[in-house]
Every structure is written in C-alpha cells, then in structure tokens.
Amino acid sequence: MSPRDASTPQLKDLGCEFIQLPMDNGGLNPFKDLLLFLRYLNLLHKHRPQVYLGYTIKPNVYGSLAAKILKIPVINNVSGLGTAFIKETWITKLVQVLYRTALSGSSCVFFQNPEDRDLFISRRLVRPAKSNRVQIIQLLPGSGVDLTHFYPGAKSNLTHHELAADLYEHDPMEKVRDLTFLFIGRVLRDKGVLEFVEAAKIVKSTRAKVRFCILGFLDAKNTTAISRAEVDDWIDEDLIDYLGEVEDVRAAIAASDCVVLPSYREGTPRSLLEAAAMARPLIATDVAGCREVVEDEVNGYLCKPRDALDLANKMLKMINLEPIQIRQMGINGRKKIVREFDEKIVISKYHEVIRLI
C-alpha cells in the first residue's frame, strides 16, 4: 500500500499486488492525516494481512495504529528521523507522542543506526522487551544493497584482489586534480545542499576545473526545499551541474570520483551505500547514519555538520591524494559494504522476525 509513483510498474513486475494509498508525505494537515488513518483502517480491514510492515513516518504511525486496532502484527522500520528531530519544535513533541502511541503495540521496531535507537529508548518512545520470543528493538544495516546491481566497472563477480588490479589497470597513475564530486539526494537544506554549493565555491576559487554535480528530486512540498530558481542561479554562476532525477543512479556514480552527503542527520543513507558498493570514496558529515557508512580516512572523510569550510577542506584533501590512494579508498568501501550492508542481511532479519510472530 503506497502512493502511485514511477516504481509502481516494477512492484507489479515482481508479482506484488499494488494497492494505491494517497498520502501527503510531508504535510501537517490534521484532517488529511485523519483521512489517511481511516484509509489505512479500511484497507487493512478489507485485505487482512498476516503482518503489517511500516516504513517512513506516516506509515509507521497511522498504519501501525490501524493495524493495532485490527489486531494485526506490526513490524516497523524507523529509517530516519527527518526534519522533526533535527530542529526541536512543537512538531517534534507531537511526532514523539504519535510515535509512542503507534509503536507501543509493535512486535518489532527496526532502527538503522544506534543513535536513533538510543534516542527513542531515552525518550521512552519504545521500550526494550521481548514479544513472542522476538526482541522488540533491533538494528538493521540500513536498507541493504544489492551487490550484484551496484558494483564497480563491468564485472560483478570480482574478488577484492581482482577489483584492485582491475581499477589500477584502467585508471591513470598520474596525479588527478580535476575530480567530479557528486551529491545524490532530495535537494533540501537538511541534506546539506547549501554547504555543498558553498564548498564548491571555495574549492573552485583555487581548482577551477573541479566539477560539482547534484542529482536528485526538487521536493517543492518539503519545508526545507531548495527552489528551482536557486538551483538555476548556481548553474548560472558555474558552481554546479544539475543532473535532474533518474531512476537508475549507477551511471552518475560511475562518472563521479567521489560521492558527497553533507546531511544534518540520516538513517543509513542509500546514496552512500550504493556509491561505496561501486567503489567510490565518500565524504559525509560526522552525524548519525553517515558515520555508520564512512570510516574516516579509510573509505572517505567525515566533515563537521553545517560547516562548508571543513567540507571544502575535505574535498581539497581528496583532490590532493594520489589516484592509487583514491582507488584504494573505493576498494575499502566496497569491502565494507560486502561485509556489513548486503541486502541479504536485511531480508534474513525480516524473515526471522516474521517467522517468530
């Protein structure tokens, strides 16, 4: 059950029954949210699933409440805390009350990083316990990555040693100064887009040929959205290239030298997981979610949040590395993803919990 979007045909191709559920994802209108809850109640009563899997805030809240009323087992996935927990306002208090009520009857609540889990526990939004032999609170390695879909180069079955040899063979060994830095994500202030552009301006003042690209959705409905006019101004100033939005990000990642995410807070960002799986080094803020993927000076660099100068310094540090060092960072990232973030780990965790409830 979800709103209809570009992925709907793919879900049907997988054999899923798709049930359209209109939803104002970022809205705060209480009447629309009440209508969403009633829609959930009606659809869950009609289809009577054996288990309800909630993902993102409104399905986690209103879908879980409806399932709880109908005595349908619930498994939640708190994939990130979003704007409401970045800046503490009355909305934060309201969201906490909703979470506390909705998650109280869940069989299991998955979190994608320890900081989010610990915050929910400390504020008593969830309580550690066991239900039907299932540990109610569990950690997941993000949403996982399909390692056969996201891989370096043209070969998906290379060992780490063969991958290193392949990258070294096809990449020039002279010093590379004209790197391409790529941001992937919704074009929001909370994702650190302003810091990315400001850092681009700083770097370009001394490295004019370095390229900065933004790939992502201009989410006009979000309260922290960047407008199309602002993006056009950056393009006119020759600070960034805007690549629009695409269903398949692999070509953009392959054409980049480093993927950057200066976000203020994340669950476990898919953009970093996918880029690391394709052996690209990373630069991200030292915040919840990002630090689970980026090991500083191993597969990339961590920078200070909301600090464009520190981000620019980390970019310059990357630029000044030898190509062999950049490639090794990418290889280290691929190893980490294979070891910790394979989507098979996520799928098996879900299967385990479903079997026990």
Report the Cα–Cα distance between both ends of the chain, in Å, rounded: 21
How are beta strands 137-139 and 180-184 bridged, if at all?
unpaired
CA 16 to chain centre: 24
Give me Rg for the CA atoms of the chain: 21
What is the identity of the amino acid at 8?
A: T
Say what the pLDDT of residue 177 is.
57
pLDDT at 41: 96
| CATH classification number, 8-144+343-356, choose in 3.30.70.920, 3.90.1150.10, 3.40.190.10, 3.40.50.2000 | 3.40.50.2000
CA contacts within 13 A on the Cβ side of 124: 1
pLDDT in 10s for each residue of the chain, 357 residues: 999 888 889 888 999 999 999 888 766 678 888 999 999 999 999 999 999 999 988 999 999 999 999 999 999 999 877 665 656 776 778 888 888 999 998 999 999 988 889 989 998 998 888 877 777 899 999 889 999 999 987 454 555 555 555 555 554 434 455 899 999 999 999 999 999 999 999 999 999 899 999 999 887 677 788 999 999 999 999 999 999 999 899 999 999 999 999 999 888 999 999 999 999 999 999 998 899 999 999 999 999 999 999 999 999 999 999 999 999 999 999 999 999 999 999 999 999 999 998
**Alpha carbon distance 36, 59 (integer Å):** 9
Asked whether the whole model's pTM tops 0.85, one would answer: no
For the chain, give every domain's residue range. 8-144+343-356, 160-340
Tokens of 93: 């208090």
Written as six digits, the tokens of 13 are 């191709």
Give the burial string for 300-320 (b: 16+ CB within 10 Å, else e): bbbbbbebbebbbbbbeebbe
Contact 241, 213 (CB under 8 A): yes
Is 210 within 8 Å of 312 (Cβ atoms)? no
**Superfamily the domain 160-340 falls into:** Glycogen Phosphorylase B; (3.40.50.2000)
Rounded distance, CA 192 to CA 285, Å? 9
pLDDT given for residue 113 in this prediction: 87
Task: Identify the DSSP state of 20.
Answer: B
Can you give the pLDDT at residue 156? 47
Tally of CA atoms within 13 A in the half-sphere of 49 that contains its CB: 21
Q: Is there a shared CATH topology between the 8-144+343-356 domain and the 160-340 domain? A: yes
pLDDT of residue 89: 73
Measured distance CA(261)–CA(214) in Å, rounded: 10
Q: What φ, ψ does residue 142 adopt, rounded to 5°?
A: 65, -145
